Structure 1
Amino acid sequence: MDLEEDIRSLQLDSAEDINGVVNPEDEKPDVDNFDKMEDEGLLSGNDPKQEVQAQSVEAEPKAKDKEIPPVQDEEDEHMKKRHLNVVFIGHVDAGKSTTGGQILFLSGQVDDRTIQKYEKEAKDKSRESWYMAYIMDTNEEERVKGKTVEVGRAHFETDTTRFTILDAPGHKSYVPNMISGASQADIGVLVISARKGEFETGYERGGQTREHVQLAKTLGVTKLLVVVNKMDDPTVNWSKERYDEIESKMVPFLKQSGYNVKKDVSFLPISGLMGLNIKTRLDKSHCSWWDGPCLFESLDSIEVPMGDPQSPFRMPIIDKFKDMGTVVMGKVESGTIKDGDSLLIMPNKDHVKVVAIYIDEKRVNIAGPGENLRVRLSGIEEEDLLSGFVLSSAANPISTVTEFVAQLQILELLDNAIFTAGYKAVLHVHSVVEECEIVELLEQIDPKTRKPIKKKVLFVKNGAIVLCRVQVNNVICVEKFSDFPQLGRFTLRTEGKTVAVGKITAI
């Protein structure tokens, strides 16, 4: 198939050409087309992660713990439940870590004694209201500053679903870490502070609420739960007017960012600090007007299509360590892995054997799409692995490239910047972070007709959709968006700002 046919086979709808993201400057998004996006099946698929050492609430097994737990029966009740990854996103200080900590406490993952210890520690730092966040923010820097830096990771269960919580940083300095969390997620929980002034700060241009929503959509988070937190704050006091004001402002922006609000977005009020409307529904004494579900019920009700267990195996590596051999961590994006499998580590083509597979600290024989795994391998040393390498089927390995053709949506360039051949940026694709250069602009595409409008284009501005050739410094593992959406979508960032999002159309 020639390049032009390949491009047309991947056309998206209107400004959703790049996963529904449109230029944030647009005042009047084409709302009529939003409902068409999801029907085309182009916004499904979920991404892995970039290089960030995820921290776990549960301690990793130490090398000295020589006793290997027995393999769990494949029909174990725990494994019968579906598994979903939930990323908590939103502006700094919205209450993401506190809400995540409260979820773990209410689901029985953290005991009262631990909570009392955290309460005392927070009080000693004169930060009494931060104690729940300490469950997710485990290092000292995060606790002192009250800012999540790395992506916290923890697990909890409801009656029907096993969840992995990914607690993403809200501060703009740590957006690359937020990308790594969102790229692994199936569901996004957007935490918004209802406190007077805090919602406005996060929502205004430059606030992370906007950037996080756009990035989440780009990274394949198709379902969004918007929780309006701090409803118990004295400036709010469970005010329906404040809740409605926030919802009325967020809905147009979510549509503009590509979300089908009726099908894929839910709103609910909570108090993360007090644990209200999280595990059980709100009592009328707290909030007389809310008659909807609690957070656990909302999470349980979300339907997310899973990857194909029969397709070639792909698991991007997000972290590695030594523990009686070499252990890699990652999320299965497609295919199935079994104990004893012979696989390839790409791009180096190292042959490895699967020695053990762990899900949530339990050893299992088999795991499928969507699972977050630790896999012990033989045949490779830990120092020979990098984040961004991919554990891959030996019969049908992932593609390795130094150059690819992509369709890009320009969001917002830096002041005085021109997007043209020679433009350099940092590429984020699954768990890869790599410097790249735009080597050629092939054609500009009309957002409405989805057809080329300019050939031999020299440069483009904010909001443009352009087909271009991208070159990276080192060999990376990627796939075409049409084959593996989660391994074929990416973002471009420059000087701490997301300037473009795209999908790989040819390799």
Structure 2
Amino acid sequence: MGGNILFLTGMIDQRTMDKYEKEAKEQSRESWYLSWALDTNKEERAKGKTVECGRAYFETDKRRYTILDAPGHKNYVPSMIGGASQADVGILVISARKGEFETGFERGGQTREHAVLAKTSGVSKLIVAINKMDDPTVTWSKERYDECVNKLTPFLKGSGFNPATDLEFMPVSGFTGLNLKDRVSKDVCNWYNGPSILEYLDNMQALDRKINSPLMVPIIEKYKDMGTIVVGKVESGKVTKGQSVMIMPNKRTVEISAIYNELEDEVSTSYCGDNVRLRLKGIEEEECSTGFVICDVKKPVKTTTTFEAQLAILEHKNIICAGYSAILHIHSCVEEISVSALLHVLEKKTGKRSKKAPQFVKKGQKVIARLETPGPICVETFEDYPQLGRFTLRDEGKTIAIGKVTKVIEN
């Protein structure tokens, strides 16, 4: 689907597509050639699964877009969280093919976990693309489409999406490209009157950006290329070439010697919401790592090893008590944490805090807990900077809890 959007918007020319098609045929994978535009490494092409979060850019007449192609397979959920935390809008791709929708949606299927993780990572609007409508088991059937929509709606509502304002369902075919750029024709599908995916995105209201807030850019990746280059999304404020910035948590002051946009062109300023590559002067590549945050020298991001947070326990076999440890995913940072104290349980109906600290919590409960990390990490309260204040806890390959930071105890 991503490959086809790039092709339809003219970002990939026919020659490149022919090359992918030829290479895919040689490996007996002819129907996969469109996905090779975003699945670029050998492992992804051999397995037909996205492993890392692919990136690509395209433009329509109205806007510029970045596609973050996040993996769907449960072994690669950490990469999916990294992709979702940079996104403004999510496209949840559901297969309408007989048997495939059911597998994804049943208990243990990935559709459920992805919807919850997208919500926690800050994706507030979802386009639900019911894909593979061209499949012989579906043949653009309205009954099958309605069945998928009716099963998904109550579940997505339970995950925190408002069906009236946050969700948009549309039938598509990623392989043939129908309803991606241009609306699907009446001969193929006479019951759908809504917009195509790109038409809907072009007419969406732009998000409110915090351009006048202090600068914050969580580092997503870093590499050496005639100096140190870091990649990230400007979550707050703006960054200018020549500006002095601070890298937290190791309090290093560095200079931004160049800013590159999505198309590798050099620009002088980038604003909140832009995905950028920054060339840094005054620091070696080994001295910064994923999860560090580039921020304003006068008003740096908070760093701590202890913070309080509200947790919602999604699933866990056993009870959780003080001393429990898990892996924390917050913005682009992945760190081990331990629960040092459970402070209050929140009542289900009223949200009131209990006076007495609970001894343990179990699935379905909400709790205020104190969490500790071995080394300092960059966090902000959810109220001040939602992007740096919401997180996921995972253990043994499952998402255990979602949470938001309520209080940072600065060291």
* Shorter-normalised TM range: over 0.9
Q: Which amino acid aligns with 2:128?
A: V
Aligned ranges 1:182-331 → 2 under 5 Å: 182-331=84-233
Contact 1:142-1:148 at 8 Å conserved across structures: yes
Report whether the alignment pairs 1:376 with 2:279.
Answer: yes
State whether structure 2 residue 335 is matched by structure 1 residue 434. yes
Q: Determine the structure 2 residue equivalent to 1:139.
A: 41
Q: After the TM superposition, which residues 385-464 of structure 1 pair with which residues of structure 2 at under 5 Å, given as runs?
A: 385-413=288-316, 415=317, 417-464=318-365
Deviation at 1:324, TM superposition (A): 2.4
CA displacement 1:66-122 (0-9 Å, x = unmatched): xxxxxxxxxxxxxxxxxxxxxxxxxxxxxxxxx000000001011111111111111
Give per-residue Cα distances to partners, 1:340-359, cap 9 Å, x unaligned.
11110111111101111111
Instruction: Spell out, residue by residue over 1:178-207, the C-alpha distance to the aligned partner (whole angstroms, 9 max, x if none).
Output: 000001100000000110000000000111
SS class of match (1:343): strand
Specify which structure has the bigger relative contact order, considering alpha-carbon pairs within 8 angstroms and separated by 6 or more residues: 1
In 2, Cα distance between the equivalents of 1:411 and 1:338? 41
- Aligned equivalents of 2:126 and 2:400: distance in 1? 23
* AA of the residue aligned to 1:226: V
SS at structure 2 position matched to 1:418? coil
Tell me if 1:486 matches 2:387.
yes
- d(CA) in 2 for partners of 1:303 and 1:458? 46
2:236 & 2:205 partners in 1: Cα distance?
18
Partner of 2:243: 341
For 1:460 and 1:253, the matched residues in 2 are separated by 24
1:33-69 Cα offsets, whole Å, 9 max, x none, are xxxxxxxxxxxxxxxxxxxxxxxxxxxxxxxxxxxxx
**Which residue number in structure 1 is paired with residue 401 of structure 2?**
500
Q: Structure 2 matches for 1:29-40, cutoff 5 A? A: none
Write out the 4+ residue segments of structure 1 that deviate beyond 6 Å after TM superposition: none
In the aligned structure 2, how far is the partner of 1:461 from the partner of 1:302?
40
| Match of residue 32 from structure 2 | 130
TM-score (norm 1): 0.79
Task: List per-residue Cα deviations over 1:354-389 (Å, max 9, x = no partner).
Answer: 111111212111111110000111111111111011
The 5 Å alignment of 1:159-178 reads 159-178=61-80
What amino acid sits opposite 2:320 in the alignment?
F
Kindly state the Cα deviation for residue 454 of structure 1 after the two structures are TM-superposed. 5.0
Identity of matched residues, %: 59
> Is the 1:306–1:370 contact (alpha carbons within 8 Å) kept by the matching residues of 2?
no
Distance in 1 (alpha carbons) for counterparts of 2:336 and 2:133: 43
Q: In 2, Cα distance between the equivalents of 1:347 and 1:307? A: 25
| Residue of structure 1 equivalent to 2:369 | 468
Give the aligned length.
407
TM-score (norm 2): 0.98
1:157-190 CA-partner distances (Å, limit 9, x unpaired):
1122111000011110001110000011000000
1:17 maps to what in 2?
none
Residue ranges of structure 2 left out of the alignment (5+ in a row): none
- Write out per-residue CA displacement over residues 300-321 of structure 1, whole angstroms, 9 at most, x where no aligned residue: 1222423311111000011111
Q: In the aligned structure 2, how far is the partner of 1:454 from the partner of 1:254? A: 33
Q: Aligned partners of 1:245 and 1:264: how far apart in 2?
A: 20
Name the aligned partner's letter for residue 287 of structure 2.
D
Partner SS state of residue 452, structure 1: coil
Name the Cα RMSD after superposition: 0.9
